[in-house]
Amino acid sequence: MSEPAAAEWVNPLRDERDRRLPRIAGPCALVIFGVTGDLARRKLMPAVYDLANRGLLPPGFALIGFARRDWVDEDFGRIVHDAVRANSRTPFREEVWQRLAEGIRFVQGSFDDEDAFAQLATTLAELDKIRGTGGNHAFYLSIPPDSFPVVCSQLSRSGLAGSEDGRWSRVVIEKPFGHDLASARALNAVVGEVFPEDSVFRIDHYLGKETVQNILAMRFANQLFDPLWNAHYVDHVQITMAEDIGLGGRAGYYDGIGAARDVIQNHLLQLLAFIAMEEPISFDPAELRAEKIKVLSATRLAEPLDETTARGQYVAGWQNGGEVVGLHEEQGFAPDSTTETFAAITCEINTRRWAGVPFYLRTGKRLGRRVTEIAIVFKRAPHLPFDDTMTTELGQNALVIRVQPDEGVTLRFGSKVPGSSMEVRDVNMDFSYGQAFTESSPEAYERLILDVLLGEPSLFPVDEEVELSWKILDPVLEHWAAHGVPEPYEAGTWGPPSADEMLRRSGREWRRP
């Protein structure tokens, strides 16, 4: 049974048919577990302020922090204030802050402390009366996955997990969603015992990025691309998420996880689903999810895995004008760590639209630059009525969706070089969000937190999507565990030689963004 639609405040001046008008969250409170963490300070608290600054939160909104620190409400308020001043996207306005600060509370306790959760329930009940939050509560678990069971159990025991009498309770889960298929299923079962699936919101912050959402607009609002969006015209697809930073200070999280689990299982396979899915009947969340699930169900790893996958680990090198150390020299990593910092896989989608089109997914740390992009590379024209010398510098047509930075879309095609001779060379037609629109894009966490408060689940993977993603990735993880160690690559390069060889076997090559 779906939740009561009590989450959204209805503006009496709003025409319900006009979807251009902003949706404002209804009476509610947000509880953040893990408020002392880096994510809460850099992303979550500033996103809440930015939503308030944009007028998208109700006047009586409440924010509650839960942690073991010996803080009172004023201490937590100061932490939120400092985080907002340092990291908010929108300008700081004192009147907005004062209104938000009136609803800020802090509850001290550990996750296994029943008295602390009783105090949390009392605090929320008081806020329901004082701030008019209406018994609508969202619980953001910005905590390690092994703490999910105890927190969910405590929320259930304290009576905070139920949705009844027009009230709702929702839980927000940060990745990783398990470390393999078996653990993901166990985690889904634990959360599912307390919260129904339509009350569970699994955060994948990439799905909140404006450019990712624009994939749907570009594909389904334009007749231009649809006739070409298939195996008749597309040669292959490359999905890249590259970072130029290392892993210093993140050993506690990253060691033993690796690039494939950290990025491919969630971010990149979700991007694949958006690119490859069929047009949904509507943008109703259920219809959108159904099409993504179809794609993921049809996705397989190309074999043999020795030739269609690659993994690496960065070693010392030069980057951004300075010398950097390798992973084994990073603080917290063992000298014999086999955690991969680069991963690349080849996927096939067994549908009529995509049969025979390889999807290459890669991610890595300490690569040439920070960039996330999706490149749809088209087949060459079957016949070129030019001499070879006229087209020596002509490559394949490509449509490149830039997710970050410099968000936008680039179309690469051949054009004649000015002059008396016929010479064809690649040129780019470029669309940039920053130049086309005056309003800056909201941060991904702004969009996703607002969607949680509105009960809008379109951009959140359901348990079936999570399990299908692990089903795709598990075989390569098992293969890597049984075969050797990651190949070294120098920091500042684009990964190990085996990644280049992976594409060269079929006459292709990676883009250098």
Report domain extents, the chain: 8-174, 208-378+459-504
pLDDT band at 425 (very low <50, low <70, confident <90, very high): low
Question: 208-378+459-504: which CATH number, 3.30.70.250, 3.20.20.330, 1.10.10.10, 3.30.360.10?
Answer: 3.30.360.10
Are 325 and 341 within 8 A, CB to CB? no
**pLDDT of res. 12:** 41
Reference 487, options 333, 310, 306, 255; nearest CA is 310
**pLDDT of res. 383:** 53
- Across the range 184-199, mean pLDDT stands at 89
**pLDDT of res. 459:** 81
pLDDT band at 9 (very low <50, low <70, confident <90, very high): very low
| Phi, psi dihedrals of residue 460, rounded to the nearest 5° | -120, 125
Q: Spell 350-384 as b/e; 16+ CB within 10 A means b.
A: ebebbeebbbbbbbbbbbbeebbbbbbbbeeeeee
At 481, which helix (H) or strand (E)? helix 463-482
Higher pLDDT, 398 or 269: 269
Question: Which of 106-115, 212-221, 381-390, 420-429 ranks highest by mean pLDDT?
Answer: 106-115
pLDDT digits 0-9 by tens, 325-356: 999 998 888 888 999 999 999 999 999 999 99
pLDDT digits 0-9 by tens, 384-404: 655 555 555 567 888 999 988
Average pLDDT, the chain: 87
pLDDT digits 0-9 by tens, 274-317: 999 999 998 888 898 999 999 999 999 999 999 999 999 999 99
Q: Which CATH architecture has domain 8-174?
A: 3-Layer(aba) Sandwich (3.40)
Instruction: Enter the pTM of the model.
Output: 0.88
pLDDT band at 499 (very low <50, low <70, confident <90, very high): very high
pLDDT digits 0-9 by tens, 88-117: 999 999 999 999 999 999 999 999 899 999
At 78, which helix (H) or strand (E)? helix 73-87
pLDDT digits 0-9 by tens, 428-479: 788 887 777 656 667 888 989 999 999 888 888 888 999 999 999 999 999 9
Is 328 exposed, middle or buried, given 0-12, 13-18 or 19+ CB atoms closer than 10 A?
Answer: middle
Give me the catalytic one of 179, 267, 328, 483. 267
Q: Spell 425-445 as b/e; 16+ CB within 10 A means b.
A: eeeeeeeebeeeeeeebbbbb
Q: Tell me, yes or no, if 267 is annotated catalytic.
A: yes
Q: How far apart are CA 314 and CA 330, in angstroms?
A: 11
